[in-house]
Amino acid sequence: MNLRRRTTSGVVSWGTLRGAALLAAAAVITGCSAPPPGTGVFLLLDTSGTYAGELGRAQTVINYLLGTLDPGDSFGVARIDGGSFSEKDILTRVTFDTRPSIANDQKRVFVETVTTFADTVDAAAHTDITGGVLQGVEWLNEVGPGVKTILIFSDMEEDLPAGHIRDFPIEMEGVHVIALNVTKLGSDNIDPREYSARLQAWKERVEAGGGQWTVINDLERLDVALQL
């Protein structure tokens, strides 16, 4: 049966109308769908012997982030030690409740947890930065925010225990990695090229995985880098 719909301008087939409706629906689904909501931040804290003294500055960054992130955003903090691809190294992680009063309570608990850790942490003998990054990517992908950021508070010198394998690509599509407060090692003072080469190697690794790389040593510029 050839169904037809009469209009003031003539006759239009029902099949034409149905096809137009399907095309319009497809455009809405594929072209106008809203991006995933919210922001996700995962902060890695280097606790190696050469860097543990910087944790006080890291707490300042955490306090800033807690004041900036909104209800519905996600925030996690983990330590970097000798084997960082482990749930035991995650200090705390939370998606803040959409109710501001409850989100504020969650932020207070967050501060208490990190403060207790900073006051009691023992310096780690090794530094598995790659494992921490893997942990961060996994969590951010699971939470699924629209903006994914990994902050690394470290000198970016990886020192793995014997037998740990980390020389493989990391899939980091859509993740912005920001190295913070990258202090210089004693050997960097002897040969500054080592510092530049270390950061360049991390930049190439992140970008090879589809991620974005930034270094921020002036923490006053953190708001510009994050654009929260």
* Dist. CA 135–CA 85, nearest whole Å: 6
DSSP string, 98-163: SSHHHHHHHHHHHHHHHHHHHHHPPPBS-B-HHHHHHHHHHHHHHH--SEEEEEEES----BPPTT
Name the DSSP class of 14. Answer: H
Closest CA to 50 of 179, 151, 186: 186
pLDDT at 211 over 90: yes
pTM to 2 decimals?
A: 0.82
Question: Please, which residues have CB within 8 angstroms of residue 182's CB and are 6 or more apart in sequence?
Answer: 154, 155, 156, 199, 215, 217
Quick one: which H or E segment has residue 38?
Answer: none
Residue 153's CB is within 10 A of a number of other CB atoms, namely: 25
Of 198 and 5, the one with more pLDDT:
198
Residue 194's CB is within 10 A of a number of other CB atoms, namely: 15
pLDDT at 7: 41
pLDDT at 33 over 80: no
- Residues 74, 94: contact at Cβ < 8 Å? yes
Over the stretch 156-201, which tens digit does the pLDDT of each residue have? 999 999 999 999 999 999 999 999 999 999 999 999 999 999 999 9
pLDDT at 212 over 60: yes
* Dist. CA 15–CA 5, nearest whole Å: 10
pLDDT at 108 over 60: yes
